[in-house]
Amino acid sequence: MQIAKHKVVKIHFTLTDDDGEVIDTSEGGEPLEYLHGVGGIVPGLESVLEGKSVGDHIKVSVQPDDAYGDHDEDLLHEVARSQFEGIDDLELGLQFQVDTDDGPMVVTVVEITDKTVTVDGNHELAGVPLNFDVTVREIRDATPEEIAHGHAHGEGCHEH
């Protein structure tokens, strides 16, 4: 069986940046399971996996255009520190959800001064080339329910 749209695929993967630092990996744990062809993983990786078989080993470098996009300076916002009164754990890297004109957005605190706090609405991997080392472990047909939901259902419990 080959990877195609609406196959459920299990992969082991290691993701590194251009300095070789590991950003994420499934090694030592369960493989990642995803529904192919519906944008459940970054486009640059999904397109490379198309047509691959169990046991295939792939190394691919995905540029931001095919992953989480470029870092957008317009998504940096400086707000008055007084707006964070009452938040005890304000620190660099703190993430929280805000309501914007475009809907809810997760932002990250990237700078704190005496008077201001700068938050960044970019995905943490925006602008980062992603180097994937992937081994295909399992391929099966998706169930009608999985196709309807647009994602894979793992073994055992799955609740919505």
Query: What residues make contact with Zn ion under the rule CB under 5 A?
Result: 149
CB of 6 to Zn ion, least distance (A): 14
Q: Are 17 and 42 in contact (CB under 8 A)?
A: no
What does each C-alpha distance from 56 to 43, 87, 131, 139, 155 come to in angstroms?
Answer: 19, 49, 17, 11, 23
Structure tokens at 32: 């990642």
Query: Smallest gap, in angstroms, from Cβ of residue 33 to Zn ion?
Result: 12
Residue closer to Zn ion by CB (options 53, 143) is 143
Closest approach, Cβ 149 to Zn ion, in A, equals 3
In whole angstroms, how close is the CB of 26 to Zn ion at the nearest point? 21
For the chain, the maximum distance between any two Cα atoms, rounded to a whole number of angstroms, is 59
Nearer to Zn ion, 81 or 149 (CB): 149
Of the pair 58, 147, the CB lying nearest Zn ion is at 147
Q: Specify the residue, 34 or 132, whose C-beta has the smaller distance to Zn ion.
A: 34
- What distance in Å separates the CA atoms of residue 32 and residue 9, rounded to the nearest whole number? 8
